[in-house]
Structure 1
Amino acid sequence: MKLIFSSLQWALFILMSSVVIPVAIASDYGLHSFDTIEFVQRSLFVLGLAGLLQTFLGHHLPIQEGPAGLWWGVFSLYAGLGAILFGSHIETLRVLQYAFLLSGVIFILLSVFGLVEKIAKLFTPAVTGIYLILMVIQLSGSFVQGMFGLEGPDDMIHTNVLLLSFIIIITSYGFRKIPKIGHYTVLFSISFGWVLFYIFGLSQQVTKVDTFINLPKIFAFGLPRLEPSIIIMVIFITLLLLANMLATVRVVQQVLKRHEVACETNRWKQTGIVSGVNQLLAGFFSAIGAVPVSGSAGFIATTKITSKLPFIIGSFIIIFISLFPPFTAFVAAIPKAVGYAAIFPIFASIIGLALQEFEAAENKRILFHVAGISLFAGIGTMFIPSDAFSDMPPTLASILSNGLVFGAIVAVVTETILMKRGKEFKEKNTSSL
């Protein structure tokens, strides 16, 4: 029973942090209801398979593979520009299939030639902690808007949704203190929240589908369309995805070590190669590219589920759900506010993980400088309207429009410069003596 509950909890956590993005992308590209369900199906299939591949062949850790926020940004960017550049939304989606395939090849090449290990050295405790803080701040907007019942930028706050979301959060923290069910907080919170929303008439209707089973299609939007103009952008996106992968794997390793769970720390090459394969899968199945989700660290720390088996079974459940449209439509009907409120404590706990990373930093003076500069720059960038980047080259826009990415880059560069100067200063004083 413990294994079943743990596996279901992993499956629900993966669903809650994976369904929203494919639905939003389908809406941006004007896909019809059944096409949207198919896109969600293919995305879930790729995400479930990606998690299994990493667990068995990559980093060997229980880390969820979720829709990459960077790729979501690219989808959103080209939802407006694509029709002008490529002729239509479908043509744009064909180009993005090519982008995933190209990113997969680049990932694999970087891994084979040993560049992943070199880049991994840049992710010190200071950089990892800053990355986690920026990630939580960036996600907090979506969480709060969802729990306030905001479906659009001009929508009004729904007081009833806000009140019920608050009740779910309080209940979720209450579940954690109950000895025997505390480890299944997500499972009970989502179940309780969904029933609560149904009682108050706030649950969504399940989309009716006529097909019982539907295998994922290859190149559902047509054959990939090669566009040399996006190569530079894809290279930068791949490097940023690589940075996200490294930060996530590192923080999950730290969480497992605190729970006295042994884990391998020298599998960067294998992890990079599998990440490349996962991007290739997204291109083949016309889905969205997967990336290790840092929220997995918060999930493990909150639920104390450190074993890989529940995650493996949970990933198989996701794949199973993806093959049956009625199941996909059913889970896609879970109210967004319920999902956000149920996993709110998990992502809130990531701030604590970031502070623990800061404690491991050797030079606190440099840490304070790096954190101040990068957090100031990254958070400030988050307040710039996305429309302000419309006239910039796509590659530059994808970096500057993402506060998480921009802040992480600033952190790496700033720490490298300060560490180098500190080393030179120390050597100079030593030689003068």
Structure 2
Amino acid sequence: MNKLFVITTGTASVQWMFFIFANTVVVPVSIGAAFGLPPAETAMILRSSLIFTGIACVLQGWIGHRYPLMEGHSGLMWGLLLTLSASAGALGMDYHVIGGGIATGVIAAGGVMAVMGALKMAPWLNHIFTPMVTNVYLFLLAVQLIIIFFTGMLKVNEDGAIDPAGSFFSVCVVIAVAIMKIKGKGWISNFSILIGITAGWALYVLLFPGEAAGSAEASPFFLFPLGTPNLQWGIVIASFVTGLINMSNTIASVQAASQLYKEKAEEKKYNHSFFLTGVYTIASAPLGLVPYAPYTSSLGFLESTRIYERPPFIIGGLLLSLLGIVPAAGTFLAGIPVTVGSAVLFVAYMQLFGTALKSLQVVSFNSNTIFRIAVPVLVGISIMAIDPKLFSSLPLMIQPLLTNGMATGVILSIILEKMVKWHNYE
């Protein structure tokens, strides 16, 4: 076997592992904090997340859609859980009641998704999640992730004020990774993400010693750490509907990946992916994990690294699961400063915005048809910027859904595409 091939594949696998890890580690930690879990329980969820996410990536790349697309915690569902936890006071519920309602809705949505995949219903779903709906989803996903990682790269002191030195360091990491990506040649450009994370981490430790925290020792494993399933219907319905909308992740990811690889995506790719994601979604509830979906944002990573082969992706997934199985390894990598990881991902996800723009090149807009995309995208972004507590006067049944900007934007887009004959206004 060619030595250069082995070295390149090995390095690319490690880069994939870091990318998946950086996208994964912040999610269970943020959910643990949002639901008031003890550090040991949060550490338990983190280990489960690493093991399960690695396995999910391997199976999708092997027998699912078979593209090197990370299968991870859905940004749409992550936003729902954070929004619902923040609305606990306004909803008059404790965290375990909210968590239990979410678990019920998520299990139901996962079951529907798995059945649809098994019954080969991808063509029917493609009629709902049309290319324009997918474009809206891509724009809103890019905005939501950029906001999350821009906020994450800003170092904040205990008094809530921005730490100028730490935040400036994150900006420097962003600039350095962007320069490597744009100006770098060969492996420097291809491995800019890996270089940014490792070099940024090392420099952070030197400049801010003692501030990179590791993971706490995990508690004994138990099911439903966020709350046992219940029938709190407002939460259940919101979680179920958002879980179904989450299927747009698969449509958008497989469509965009097929365009990147310059091929036509076969229906079986959608069906296999739906089935696996449905199974993962069902399993996420008892584990206390944010439900799963193919990461459309992986396309930004692929375009940044220009490494499109599947083996590094699959090996990277196996390495991630190993981190969860070996506590010391997971604890070590959990010490990656959040600001550094967020700064590197901020650059990687700028490519996702480019993917959304490229997908619109075949569409011509005028003063009338611009509403086709402007209404759902701008309404969704506006809701993202609003404090969920402002919706507390609305009926409990619709609060959880209307406070999720991405879900609302996608629903608006589906309605507009079905109710308006846009070709009459072109």
For normalisation by structure 2, the TM-score amounts to: 0.87
Paired with 2:212 and 2:143, the residues of 1 have a C-alpha distance of 28
Q: What SS does the aligned partner of 2:360 have?
A: helix
Assess, with a 3 A threshold, how the Cα gap between structure 1 residues 406 and 6 changes in structure 2: closer, same or farther.
same
Q: Deviations over 1:41-84 (max 9, x none)?
A: 11222222222222223211111122123333443355366699
Q: What SS does the aligned partner of 1:181 have?
A: helix
How is 1:78-157 mapped onto 2 (pairs within 5 angstroms)?
Answer: 78-79=84-85, 89-90=95-96, 92-150=98-156, 155-157=160-162
Assess, with a 3 A threshold, how the Cα gap between structure 1 residues 58 and 198 changes in structure 2: closer, same or farther.
same
| Kept in 1: contact 2:134–2:252 (CA 8 A) | yes
Paired with 1:297 and 1:8, the residues of 2 have a C-alpha distance of 18
How is 1:112-261 mapped onto 2 (pairs within 5 angstroms)?
Answer: 112-150=118-156, 155-176=160-181, 177-201=184-208, 203-207=211-215, 209=217, 217=221, 219=223, 221=225, 224-227=228-231, 229=233, 230-257=235-262
Assess, with a 3 A threshold, how the Cα gap between structure 1 residues 80 and 383 changes in structure 2: closer, same or farther.
closer
- The range that moved more, 238-247 or 96-105, is 96-105
Paired with 2:265 and 2:101, the residues of 1 have a C-alpha distance of 39
| Kept in 1: contact 2:190–2:304 (CA 8 A) | yes
Q: Deviations over 1:263-303 (max 9, x none)?
A: 64542222211111111221343322111112101011111
| Kept in 2: contact 1:147–1:338 (CA 8 A) | yes
- The range that moved more, 43-52 or 70-79, is 70-79
Q: 1:422 corresponds to which residue?
A: 423
Q: Which runs of 4+ in 1 moved over 6 A?
A: 81-87
Superposed displacement of residue 7, structure 1: 0.7
Paired with 2:395 and 2:313, the residues of 1 have a C-alpha distance of 40
Paired with 2:131 and 2:216, the residues of 1 have a C-alpha distance of 48
Q: What SS does the aligned partner of 1:167 have?
A: helix
| Paired AA for residue 104 in structure 1 | G
Assess, with a 3 A threshold, how the Cα gap between structure 1 residues 309 and 283 changes in structure 2: closer, same or farther.
same
Q: Is 1:58 matched up with 2:58?
A: no
Q: What SS does the aligned partner of 2:24 have?
A: coil
Q: Deviations over 1:162-202 (max 9, x none)?
A: 22112111211232213233211111100111011111116
Q: Deviations over 1:118-160 (max 9, x none)?
A: 22234444333332222222222222222221378x7111111
| Paired AA for residue 242 in structure 2 | I
Superposed displacement of residue 313, structure 1: 0.6
| Paired AA for residue 44 in structure 1 | L
Superposed displacement of residue 15, structure 1: 1.2
Paired with 1:132 and 1:81, the residues of 2 have a C-alpha distance of 26
| Paired AA for residue 179 in structure 1 | G
Q: What SS does the aligned partner of 1:291 have?
A: strand
Assess, with a 3 A threshold, how the Cα gap between structure 1 residues 243 and 394 changes in structure 2: closer, same or farther.
farther
| Kept in 2: contact 1:130–1:408 (CA 8 A) | yes
- The range that moved more, 363-372 or 376-385, is 363-372
Paired with 1:367 and 1:7, the residues of 2 have a C-alpha distance of 44
Q: 2:333 corresponds to which residue?
A: 331
Q: Is 1:29 matched up with 2:31?
A: no
| Kept in 1: contact 2:197–2:340 (CA 8 A) | yes
Paired with 2:388 and 2:226, the residues of 1 have a C-alpha distance of 29
Gapped regions of structure 2 (runs ≥ 5): 1-6
Q: What count of residue pairs does the alignment treat as equivalent?
A: 415
| Paired AA for residue 194 in structure 1 | W
| Kept in 1: contact 2:85–2:95 (CA 8 A) | yes
| Paired AA for residue 189 in structure 2 | G
For normalisation by structure 1, the TM-score amounts to: 0.86
Paired with 2:410 and 2:224, the residues of 1 have a C-alpha distance of 35
| Kept in 2: contact 1:130–1:375 (CA 8 A) | yes
Superposed displacement of residue 236, structure 1: 0.5
| Paired AA for residue 214 in structure 2 | V
Gapped regions of structure 1 (runs ≥ 5): 427-433
Q: What SS does the aligned partner of 1:349 have?
A: helix
Assess, with a 3 A threshold, how the Cα gap between structure 1 residues 62 and 345 changes in structure 2: closer, same or farther.
same
Paired with 1:173 and 1:85, the residues of 2 have a C-alpha distance of 43
- The range that moved more, 23-32 or 216-225, is 216-225
How is 1:204-353 mapped onto 2 (pairs within 5 angstroms)?
Answer: 204-207=212-215, 209=217, 217=221, 219=223, 221=225, 224-227=228-231, 229=233, 230-257=235-262, 264=266, 266-353=268-355
Paired with 1:63 and 1:345, the residues of 2 have a C-alpha distance of 18
Q: What SS does the aligned partner of 1:18 have?
A: helix
| Kept in 1: contact 2:157–2:163 (CA 8 A) | no
